[in-house]
Amino acid sequence: MGRIRFLLLLLPLLGLSPQDTEYADRSMILALESAWNQAEIHHDTNAVAAVIADTFISVDHHGALFNKAQYLAGVKDASFNPQEIANSDTSVYFYGDTAIVSSVYRTKGLDSGKAFVHHGRFTDTWIKRNGRWKCIADHETLID
């Protein structure tokens, strides 16, 4: 991802159009969403912490509200062991330096030793500060 960050810093200097910049931002956000999924599978709290803001809030599929520290504690918890997290039907909408991601997700794994499969939809809100995208809010809903 170091190359992508470097290229994003160069965009204004290269005279790229707003459409080109939006394409690069969309690509970056989708890459961050994918990296976030992998970090959760591997219980990598440092990687998750790198993509979420200090003021991050999350509403899970049960309706529980978590701040950043609480969310990271959940990622670290080995009793919840996702083995697969996949997004589909993903859209990114831009509003200046804010982006909204909506997507369908499927998570499969073990929760306290019991197999589970969750199908749901999420909405993530991202902001761009100092050239870096950070997720500030996440909301999940089960759909079946």
Dist CA 142 CA 116 (whole Å): 13
Distance of CA 19 to the CA centre of its chain: 22
Question: Of 129, 110, 141, 140, which Cα lies nearest the Cα of 55?
Answer: 129
Strands 65-67 and 132-142: unpaired
Write down the pLDDT at residue 21.
86
Residues 63/120, Cβ–Cβ less than 8 Å: no
State how far the Cα of 133 lies from the Cα of 29, in Å rounded to an integer. Answer: 7
Domain count, the chain: 1
Which is it for the CA torsion 130, 9, 50, 143, positive or negative? Answer: positive
Cα distance from N-terminal residue to C-terminal residue, the chain: 34
pLDDT tens-place values along the chain, 144 residues long: 455 555 455 545 455 555 678 999 999 999 999 999 999 999 999 999 999 999 999 999 999 999 999 999 999 999 999 999 999 999 999 999 999 999 999 999 999 999 999 999 999 999 999 999 999 999 999 997
The pTM (predicted TM-score) of the whole model is 0.84
* C-alpha to C-alpha distances, 13 to 7, 18, 122, 127, nearest whole angstrom: 10, 13, 35, 22
Domain at 99, CATH number: 3.10.450.50
pLDDT of res. 52: 98
Neighbours of 58 (CB within 10 A): 20
Q: Which domain holds residue 23?
A: 2-142
Neighbouring C-beta atoms of residue 94, cutoff 10 Å: 16
